[in-house]
C-alpha cells in the first residue's frame, strides 16, 4: 500500500515506508453510492468497514489480481527539492524503493526474508542488512494488500476505535497491531471508504517517532484506485514530505534479483 503504505523515507535514517506503501496498497476504486449516506453516519463493525474499504479499492478479486506494481514519481523533503523516486513490489511481500539524492541512489529493499539498504549518504556505500526496527518497517511496506486484508490470517490484531476526522471529513478510526509488533492507525473515510489518513508508531535511531500520512488524488489503474499524492509529517517536527506518483504499471514482470541483496555485503546490520 503506497502507505509509500509511506511512512517516511529519508536521508537521515528514516526508512522508506510502505511508502510505500503502506503505501501502495491504499489503492482503490471509489464506489460511494447514494444509499451509503445513511450508513456513513452510523457505526459499523470493524469487519464491515474493512469489507467496504476493499470494495472501494476495486473489490477483492481486482486487489488480489495485482501481482506486481511499479511506481515512478518524485519525493520532496522541502519546497522545490524534488528527488526521483521508484518503487517496485511483487508478491509475496517483496519491495524495493529507490530515490536519487544529490546524484546518489538510496535503496531500501525486502526480498521476503531479508531487509537491506544502500545509503552512500550515511557511510558505507555497499549493501547493508537493516537493523530490526527499520527492517520491520520495510517488510510491512511489502504487503501489497495492506494489513487490513485477511488480517486474522496474517496474525494482525485490528480494533475499531470509533469515529474521527481525516481531511475535515468523518472517518472510521481503526487501530492495528501487526504480527511483527508495529502499531498503526488507519482512518477510513466514512463516505468513500477510501483510506484518507495513516499514523504509525516507529522507532528511529532508538527513539520513538510518530509518522502521519494523508492519501490524496486517487485515480484508477486497471480498475483499482491509487493515491497519486501522499503528504507525510513527523510529529513534533516541522516540514512536509510529499510523494507524487506520475506513472503506475501493474503486473509487469520484475526479476527476483531486483529484491535480493547483492553479494559482497558483510551482513552486519546498519544501526
How many Cα atoms are found within 13 Å in the side-chain-facing hemisphere of 106?
Answer: 20
Q: Per mean pLDDT, which range of 18-32, 128-142, 154-168 is the poorest?
A: 18-32
Structural domain boundaries of the chain?
Answer: 34-259
Mean of the pLDDT values across residues 74-87?
A: 92
Phi and psi of 72, rounded to 5°? -130, 140
Which fold, 34-259?
outer membrane lipoprotein receptor (LolB), chain A (2.50.20)
Query: Rounded to two decimals, what is the model's pTM?
Result: 0.85
Mean of the pLDDT values across residues 208-231?
A: 96
Q: Per mean pLDDT, which range of 27-31, 120-124, 196-200, 240-244 is the poorest?
A: 27-31
The per-residue pLDDT for 102 is 87
pLDDT-derived band at 8 (thresholds 50, 70, 90) equals: very low
Mean of the pLDDT values across residues 202-227?
A: 94
* Three-state secondary structure call for residue 60: helix
Q: Give the DSSP letter string of 130-162.
A: EPHHHHHHHHHHT-TT-TTTTHHHHT-EEEEEE
Q: Which residues contact 38 (CB under 8 A, 6 or more apart)?
A: none
d(CA 151, CA 148): 5
d(CA 190, CA 37): 9
Q: Using one digit for the tens of pLDDT, what is the confidence trace for 15-43?
A: 443 334 344 444 333 333 333 443 444 68
Amino acid at each position: 500500500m503506497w502507505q509509500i503504505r509511506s511512512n517516511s523515507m529519508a536521508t537521515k535514517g528514516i526508512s522508506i515506508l510502505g511508502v510505500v506503501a503502506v503505501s501502495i496498497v491504499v489503492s482503490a476504486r471509489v464506489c460511494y453510492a447514494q444509499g451509503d449516506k445513511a450508513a456513513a453516519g452510523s457505526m459499523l463493525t470493524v469487519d464491515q468497514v474493512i469489507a467496504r474499504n476493499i470494495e472501494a479499492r476495486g473489490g477483492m478479486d481486482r486487489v488480489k489480481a495485482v501481482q506486481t506494481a511499479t511506481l515512478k514519481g518524485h519525493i520532496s523533503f522541502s519546497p522545490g527539492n524534488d528527488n526521483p523516486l521508484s518503487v517496485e513490489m511483487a508478491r509475496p511481500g517483496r519491495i524495493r524503493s529507490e530515490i536519487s539524492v544529490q546524484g546518489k541512489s538510496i535503496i531500501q529493499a525486502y526480498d521476503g526474508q531479508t531487509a537491506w539498504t544502500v545509503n552512500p549518504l550515511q557511510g558505507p556505500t555497499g549493501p547493508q542488512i537493516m537493523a530490526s526496527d527499520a527492517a520491520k518497517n520495510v517488510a510491512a511496506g511489502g504487503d501489497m494488500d495492506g494489513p487490513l486484508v485477511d488480517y486474522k490470517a496474517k496474525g494482525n490484531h485490528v480494533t475499531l476505535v470509533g469515529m474521527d476526522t481525516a481531511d475535515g471529513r468523518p472517518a472510521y478510526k481503526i487501530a492495528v497491531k501487526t504480527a511483527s509488533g508495529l502499531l498503526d492507525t488507519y482512518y477510513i473515510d466514512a463516505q468513500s471508504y477510501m483510506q484518507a489518513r495513516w499514523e504509525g508508531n516507529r522507532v528511529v535511531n532508538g527513539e520513538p517517532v510518530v509518522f502521519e500520512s494523508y492519501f490524496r488524488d486517487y485515480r484508477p489503474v486497471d480498475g483499482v484506485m491509487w493515491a497519486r499524492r501522499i503528504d507525510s509529517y513527523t510529529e513534533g517536527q516541522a516540514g512536509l514530505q510529499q510523494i507524487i506518483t506520475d506513472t503506475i504499471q501493474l503486473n509487469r514482470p520484475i526479476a527476483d534479483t531486483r529484491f535480493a541483496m547483492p553479494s559482497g555485503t558483510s551482513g552486519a546490520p546498519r544501526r
